Amino acid sequence: MKKSIIILFLVIGGLLVSCKKDDSLPPSHQGSLTAFEVALSKTNNLRAEVTATFSTETSYHIAYWETANPQKVQQTNTYKATGITHKTLLFLKPNTDYTCQIITTTGVKSPLKTFKTKSIETFLPNATLLEDKFKEKIEGFLLANNRSSKHIYLMDMNGTVVWYEPVPDTPAVVNYDSRTQRFYLLTDAPGEGLFVFNSKKLKIIDLFGNIELEKEFASIPELNNREVHHECRPLPDGNIGLVTYIHQTVDLSSKGGSQTDTVTGDGFVIMTPKGEIVKTWSCFDHLNPIDYPNIAQKKIKEDWIHANSIDQDSEGNYYMTTNRDSELWKINGKTGELMYRVGENGTIKPTEKLLSHGIHCAIVQAPNEVLVIDNARNNQFTGSRALIYKVNEQMKTVSVPLEVALPKGMSSGTRSNVQFIDNQHVLFALSTQKQVLITNRSTPLEIKRTLSLPYTFYRVTYIPTIQY
C-alpha cells in the first residue's frame, strides 16, 4: 500500500513538472496571430490596409489574389512583427474582389479575409488594349503621369491601372529608380505655352506616397538664373540629373538683334538625394550662340538648344539629347568637356538615313553606346525609330548597331520614349499618338501589342518588377 502511494506521488509529481515545463514554453506559432483584419484604404481605391496582432515575434508574409482567380497569387515581402502591425497591399485592380491571408514562415495560415476595390474610371481610366499577339504573359508595370488629373500611376502590361498616387502640385515628369523603389517627379509646371515642362519643385516619393524629399528650386542658390525642365533622372551613382534652362545676355547685333538680347540655352545640375547640388554645367561654356545663323529669331533665342534628357555611363560621363538640332551630346563627368555631338550639324555625323529628326530620352547601354528615340518628325521613309548610337571617339565615327523603325506614318513628333522590354522586344511610347507599342527587335518588324491611352502623355516607362 505504502509503495503504491509512493508511486502515485511520483507520477503526480512528474506530471506537475511536465506541466510546468510546458507552461514555460512560448506560445506556439499557430497561436501567435491573435487578430487579423483587412479593409480598403479610406484614401486610395486601389490599396488595402491589413492590421494584424502577434503575441510573439513572428515572421510572415501576406498572400492575396483576385477571388475569382485564386491560382494567381501575389505576395508581399517577409515581415517580422510583435504586437499590432499595419501593412498596405498594393497593385490591385479596380472594382475587383480580393481574398488575402497571412502565412508565417513556419507555414501556419490565417483564416481568409476578403475586400473589394473601387472604381477609378472617373479620374484615371484604363488604357484600351487594341492589339495583342503575345502568347506568353509579360510581367511588369507601365509608369505614366496624368497632368490634368494630377496623378502618377502604374498600369499592368494590359493597360489596367493597378497603382496610383495623387500629386496635387501637378506632375510634369516622373521617373522611377528600381534600386530604391522611389518615384522622382518634377512638379508645378505651367499648363500651356512654350515652357510647359518648366518646374518649380522636385519630389521623391515611395510606393506608399510618403514624401522622401521635397525641394523648391527657388530656394537653391546654384539654380539662380536656371529653370529645371524635362528631366529628373536617377543616375547610376545615386545622384539625380536635372536638365536646366539657362538665360544669358548675348550681343546679337551682328545677327540683326540687339546688344543685350537674352538667349535661353541649356545645361544640367547634379543633385544628391538630400537635395544638395554637387555639379553644374552650361552649354554657354562650350558653344557660342553667335555661330548659329538664325539665333536672333524669337523662337530660337528663347529655346536655343531644347535639351530634354540626361543619363550617365559607368565611367561617370553624361549624355544629353537636344531636340533643336536633334543631337546626342557626351559631357566629360570630371572636366565638363563637351566631348562630342552626334547629329547632322554635330561633330560626329551619322549617315543621312540614320540621322534623328527630333530626339528624346537617352538611355545609356554602355560607354559611348546610347539608346534614343528618333521622333522622325521629318523622316519621309519611316515612322519613329529606336536607335542605338555607338560612337568611336578615336575615329570620330558613329555606327548604329540597332535600328527598329515603325511604319511610315506611325510617328510622334514630340515627347515620347523607347525602352527595351527584354532581349527580344522594344517598347515605344508615342506621345502624340497616345499609344504604347511593343514590337520585336528583329526584321521584319512586328507590332505585338498596342495600347491606347485616353490622353497625351510625356513618357511611359517599363518597370520589370516591384517587390514590397
Residue with cell 506616397: 209
| Position 138 pLDDT exceeds 60 | yes
**Contact criterion met (CB below 8 Å) for 375 and 383:** no
Q: How far apart are CA 406 and CA 376, in angstroms?
A: 10
pLDDT band at 27 (very low <50, low <70, confident <90, very high): very low
Where does CATH 2.120.10.30 sit in the chain? 128-463
| Position 270 pLDDT exceeds 70 | yes
Q: Out of 7-11, 71-75, 165-169, 211-215, which region has the weakest mean confidence (pLDDT)?
A: 7-11
| Position 56 pLDDT exceeds 60 | yes
Q: How far apart are CA 317 and CA 439, in angstroms?
A: 30
| Position 17 pLDDT exceeds 90 | no
CATH no. for 128-463: 2.120.10.30
Residue with cell 481605391: 45
| Position 1 pLDDT exceeds 70 | no
* pLDDT on residue 16: 38
* CATH top class, domain 29-116: mainly beta
pLDDT band at 194 (very low <50, low <70, confident <90, very high): confident
* pLDDT on residue 20: 36
Q: How far apart are CA 168 and CA 165, in angstroms?
A: 10
Q: What's the pLDDT tens digit per position in 236-264? A: 999 999 999 999 999 999 999 999 999 99
Q: What's the pLDDT tens digit per position in 109-124? A: 999 999 999 999 999 9
| Position 30 pLDDT exceeds 60 | no
> How many residues are present in the chain?
468
Q: Taking residues 351-379, report their average pLDDT.
A: 97
Distance of CA 241 to the CA centre of its chain: 14
Where does CATH 2.60.40.10 sit in the chain? 29-116
DSSP 8-state secondary structure symbol assigned to residue 221:
G
* pLDDT on residue 31: 58
